[in-house]
Amino acid sequence: MSDYVMLQGKFKYILFRNEENFYTVAKFHDEIENDTLTITGYFSSIDEEVSYALKGTYLDHPKYGLQFACLEAKKIAPKDEESYIHYFSGGNFRYIGKKTAKRIVETLGLDCIAKIKEDKSCLDLVPSLTLKQKNSIIENLQQEEEGFEKLIPLLSIAGIGHANLLSIHRFYGKEAFNQVMENPYRLVEDIQGIGFKMADKIGQYLNIDKKDERRIYAYILSLVDKMTMNSGNSFVSYEELLANFMNLSHLDETIFSSVLNQILFRGSLIQEENRIYPLAQYEAEVGIANALSQFPVGSLEDYDKQRLEKEIHALQKELGIIYDETQIQAIHHFFQEDFVILTGGPGTGKTTLVRSFVHLFKRLYPAKVVACCAPTGRAAKHLSEVCDVKATTIHSLLQWNLEANLFQKNEEDPIQADLLIIDEFSMVDQWLFYHILLACGLVKKICVIGDEDQLPSVAPGSLLRDLIVSKQFGYRQLTHIYRQKEGSEVIQLALAIRQESLDLTKFHQDVQFEECAIHEIRPKIQAVIQVALEKGLTLEDIQVIAPMYHGTAGIDALNMSLQDLFNPAKENKKEVQQGLRLFREGDKVMQLKNQPDDDVYNGDIGFIEEIQIDDPKHPEQALIFVLFGDHVVEYSHQNLDKLSLAYCISIHKSQGSEYPMVIVPICAQHRIMLRKRLLYTAVTRSSKYLYIFGSREEFERGSYLEEKNVRKTTLVQRLTQQNSFLW
């Protein structure tokens, strides 16, 4: 052992590397001797930003001279001071930048958190620390319990954000640091929002072997999740999983089988025949089938059919409408069935029927409670207007706890309603519907409304399709088109896409299709919006929706050009840059993630009312105030990633919303995305006027293309099997 030499420092750059056997020659700066020398050895990877401790011997190479042959290399944790500076300036502590954070650590030392918790007046010792900054530090540290500060190095080791650190601490308690250091890969299974790559950074820092079963365990779990999310299937086949594992990991089948058996034994994945399910998807499928086979637990009292007829006639007079025979049948069907599915495209009268369901239900059951919900805030607002009942988002109805990722409404604390109506049901995934059903112990009738030709949910499953195909529930499909006035060409175009009878030459009024080269799309979109604004429409009435983010006519490029046109920079307009994104007072923005505490949800669109920048030298401390409808939400650097510009949004994000005027760019760059369901969804976002710019050929081609892969689930089998088990 005495022959070995120890070095400590950082790699500067690689001179030579063999990717097959990882033999590497690199320049290394020895921090102890303050010297640079050549290192040789076998390294699976080298991080030039991390300090290493190397063990090896000096060799005198006949051609290259003195070299250090490394036999063992270990990463050294970033300096504690660096981690603590990162912690204080990372965005959680409002008004604290890197320079201020450095002053705090230099003044109070590496036990600064303990000192502040013991005596907050020690902050008075830090030069130039303002009252706002002191209060920010004190308020945040008061929320943290003993043991949390040990996790702080994970900020610089793995880039784990403060919110995830809190989740880790909440889950493991005082032993959080020890648990993570003992097995960082447990984070993949235990902590929502931490994936394999993040956990693996800690694993590499701890020098955990790439073939370690803990690492492979987490990798297989994450691989199954990734495959199901990408495909929309609720399971993967054993053969697909094995092939992907071997192709990506370069490990053999023996270790795969061994670790997979451990995962299956622990129940983290579930296997049926050759199908392997993520636990959440398996529980959702089984749970939905079980819950619906027993639904409802308690039934409504029988209603008087003659009285229903009288109330229908009275309602028609009050609303000034006449229901046709199909609509009358749908109303009777609604009252006869416990679980009702109503589908139809635009203009087929879904809105009229939903309103009649609610009005008539209240008249026949005046003492009963009606609850209405939808996946997005905009869809919930529309449902409220239609039904004259306050509608909420599904997450709000279930009282979702963002930090714990749990729903407060469940079997023990159910939804207090007798009738539950869920709109835009095509967007609802299996896992979410399972949790809705868990909270429906008191609900006696459920009515789901959707359009089966729209895009399915983002998460795995094809829920609306499966419920219909199972033929276990009351189902009514509306096909007759009633709306023949303003916007009727939009409806006709949607119908033509559904029926695969598209002829774009027929549309000249509500639908305008202008063929143009890709470089002409942006100026033409700008011009048509300018005209619309001059005619009295607002930016809230107008929505550009595109298939993809990248490309000349992609979402990112369109947002930048439209921002410059409709909200240009001015001296009196404050703005904040975050990475490539620029936010300016007056900008149209979209919420990207659910934020229930602020009553703002994924897909909600608002406008930036004000940007506060107290210190121009620290724009990261700016506060942004966004008006969503009738309430304002505050954003800081910490949660600014939940906002994006919304002059142009994705077709997927637009689902569940409807706008008076919709503009869609279509080009060959988007070809991979252009399929029947996507184009149908885009067209049906418009309630009055639709403008399409770009390639007629690509639009026509895409409108006839079905999805590449029909989503695979086993929910239909479970629903039919459950029914066959009943007496």
* pLDDT one-digit tens code per residue, 607-616: 999 998 877 7
The model's pTM is 0.76
At residue 586, the pLDDT reads 93
Q: Rounded to 5 degrees, what angle do the CA atoms 672, 701, 477 make?
A: 95
pLDDT confidence bin for 381, thresholds 50/70/90: confident
**Long-range pairs for 221-226: beta carbons < 8 A, 24 or more residues apart:** 221/188, 221/189, 221/196, 221/263, 221/268, 221/269, 222/188, 222/195, 222/196, 223/248, 224/269, 224/276, 224/278, 225/278
Report the pLDDT averaged over residues 43-63: 78
8 A C-beta contact, residue 50 and residue 29: no
Report the pLDDT averaged over residues 234-238: 96
At residue 563, the pLDDT reads 93
Least confident window among 87-101, 461-475, 586-600, 643-657: 87-101
pLDDT greater than 80 at residue 565: yes
Q: What does the alpha-carbon distance between residue 349 and residue 354 come to, in Å, rounded to a whole number?
A: 9
At residue 313, the pLDDT reads 94
User: How many CA atoms within 13 Å lie on the side-chain side of 239?
Assistant: 2
DSSP, collapsed to helix, strand or coil, labels residue 23 as: strand
Instruction: Tell me how far CA of residue 653 lies from CA of 109, 378, 427, 543, 644, in angstroms.
Output: 47, 11, 10, 11, 12
Which residues make beta-bridge pairs with 57? 69
The percentage of residues in the chain with a pLDDT greater than 70, rounded to a whole number, is 92
Instruction: Tell me how far CA of residue 446 lies from CA of 341, 417, 547, in angstroms.
Output: 9, 10, 33
Report the pLDDT averaged over residues 656-669: 92
pLDDT greater than 60 at residue 440: yes
pLDDT greater than 60 at residue 725: no
pLDDT greater than 80 at residue 337: yes
At residue 229, the pLDDT reads 92
At residue 335, the pLDDT reads 95
The token pair that represents 698 in the structure block = 């690509």
Report the pLDDT averaged over residues 372-388: 88
At residue 543, the pLDDT reads 95
pLDDT confidence bin for 596, thresholds 50/70/90: confident
At residue 93, the pLDDT reads 76
Per the listing, tokens 């609720």 go with: 234
At residue 1, the pLDDT reads 40
At residue 727, the pLDDT reads 38
pLDDT tens per residue across span 346-370: 888 888 899 999 999 999 999 999 9
Ranges assigned E (strand) in 44-131: 51-61, 65-76
Quickly list DSSP for 593-617. Answer: S-BGGGTB-TT-EEEEEEEE-S-TT
